[in-house]
Amino acid sequence: MTPEDFDRLQTLLATRAGFRLTRDRMHLAEHRLGPVARREGYHNVEAMLATLWNKPIASLGWAVIEALLNGETWFRRDRAVFDVFSRELMPALTAARPGGKVRLWSAGVSTGQEAYSLAIAALENSADVEIVATDLSRQAIEKAHSGLYTSFEIQRGLSARTMLRWFEQVEDHWRARPELRSTVRFERANLLDEPADDRPFDVIFCRNLLSDLEPAHRARVLDQLERRLVDDGCLFLGVDERPDGDSVAFRPVAGRKGLYVKAPSALRRAA
Amino acid sequence: MDPQTCLIVDDSRIIRKVARRIVEGLGFEVDEAADGVEALTYCMGAMPHVVLLDWQMPVMDGLSFLRRLRDLPGGRAPKVLFCSVETRADRIAEALSAGADDYVMKPFDGEILHSKFAEVGAIQSPS
């Protein structure tokens, strides 16, 4: 891969996905694109990129983009967040929505572990929830929807008891049980696009996503999250993330890392 | 405060070496045993905080060790993590009902062990 190829990849990722492909990921990019080139029938990465630059083919472009996104995730990543959700938020929300479903959105769910972790927490609380989980990567969403995980993936973040309770063994993989899978609706969605549906959510999880975005896109995505959240709703960002300095839409909750509520100024604006 | 101790019980010297490096990285002082009898003898001298326990071993296997350990005075205190190539759901359930706190399917890596140690409360962890 030439430096020019990498420049053009950076532009492709930034314009289509808002994703910031930093220069230190050049080797990683080359490594990840090898299998894509083979799968798409090219001799090597250079040949694939040359074709893409000559004649932008949408499907090839997205295959390249998906391979370069950061899909790192695991079950109950940052367990304190899930403890707060399960022990504090879930009971409060269920009480606040008598007879109604609590609506959760996992934005940037990657291969599904976060959504299933939320579904487990909700079902173990006997809470009536509806979980929508979206990601930009079609491949990641397909895997999430299948609910199939390797032994490596299933063990990262889940106890053996939880695994046995909520997953069934399928040869050397583990598949989310039907009651778990029916709690989550997986959809491919780009946060840069206008949402197809504007029904609001009670809690939004958008963790470890904003920090991978081009700074110019962060405010826009945060704005969309704010609009999709009910006035007394909660937003979880990654534990080391915060809304940008000029965002007045969200206020951190003291002592709960990564948890935000709508700021009064945002509420006034909405009113 | 004294450092936390972990006893690694496995008949494979290589697995013990790999696991030792990971567990020491989690801040534990590590000792090793090659079978259930060695491990039991060790525990009768001093209970470790955590036992990482293989299943199939010569002399005394992991399940027999675990049952005897739990009958010893103070033998309920250690967190026991089974760690085995046995991955059938019913066998995992058997190990848990025999008194294991959690179960690691081999092969494992540092991230899995880290997560399992946090799961049983052997380490404080944000993740």
From B104, B112, B126, residue closest to A239, measured CB to CB: B126
pLDDT tens digits, one per residue of A64-113: 999 999 999 999 999 999 999 999 999 999 888 888 899 999 999 999 99
Best mutation target, A74, A154, A161, A173, to test chain B (most B CBs within 10 A): A161
d(CA B48, CA B77): 9
pLDDT at B1: 61
d(CA B97, CA B103): 11
**Cα distance from N-terminal residue to C-terminal residue, chain B:** 24
C-beta of residue A258 within 8 angstroms of C-beta of residue A237:
yes
From B87, B116, B126, residue closest to A78, measured CB to CB: B126
Number of residues assigned to chain A = 271
CA closest to B127 among chain A residues: A78
B40 token code pair: 């039991």
C-beta of residue A122 within 8 angstroms of C-beta of residue A203:
no
B119 pLDDT more than 70:
yes
pLDDT at B3: 83
From B87, B102, B127, residue closest to A159, measured CB to CB: B102
Mean pLDDT, chain B, whole residue set: 94
Residues in a beta bridge with B80: B51
Best CA proximity match to B89, nearest among A135, A163, A140, A183: A163
From B102, B111, B125, residue closest to A160, measured CB to CB: B102
C-beta of residue A115 within 8 angstroms of C-beta of residue A144:
yes
Indicate yes or no: pTM above 0.90: yes
Report which DSSP code applies to B74.
Answer: T
d(CA A27, CA A32): 9
B126 pLDDT more than 50:
no
A202-206, A248-252, B34-38, B99-103: which has the minimum mean pLDDT?
Answer: A248-252
Neighbouring CB atoms inside 10 A of A170's CB total 11
Residues of A in contact with B112 (CB under 8 A): 152, 155-156
A269 pLDDT more than 60:
no
**3-state secondary structure (DSSP) of residue A151:** helix
pLDDT at A266: 60
Walk across the sheet containing A148-150 and list its strands: A148-150, A173-176, A167-170
Residues of A in contact with B116 (CB under 8 A): 155, 159
How confident is residue A194, by pLDDT bands cut at 50, 70 and 90?
confident
pLDDT tens digits, one per residue of B53-96: 999 999 999 999 999 999 999 999 999 999 999 999 999 999 99
A264 pLDDT more than 80:
no
DSSP strands (E only) in A84-128:
102-107
* 8 Å CB contact of B115 and A168: no
d(CA B94, CA B96): 5
A240 pLDDT more than 50:
yes
Question: Which ranges constitute the DSSP H helices of chain B?
Answer: 13-25, 36-45, 62-71, 89-97, 110-119
Write the ipTM: 0.92
Residues 6+ apart with CB under 8 A from A270: A231
DSSP strands (E only) in chain A:
102-107, 129-135, 148-150, 167-170, 173-176, 184-188, 201-205, 229-236, 250-252, 259-262
d(CA B7, CA A254): 39
Rounded to a whole number of angstroms, the distance from the CA of A85 to the nearest CA of chain B is 15
> Which residue has better confidence, A186 or B126?
A186
A164 token code pair: 């046995």
Q: Quick check: A265 contacting B, CB < 8 Å? A: no
* 8 Å CB contact of B115 and A172: no
Best mutation target, B85, B119, B120, to test chain A (most A CBs within 10 A): B119
A271 pLDDT more than 80:
no
Best CA proximity match to A261, nearest among A224, A229, A220, A223: A229
How confident is residue A268, by pLDDT bands cut at 50, 70 and 90?
low
Mark which residues 65-84 of A lie under 8 Å from B by CB.
Answer: 74, 77-80
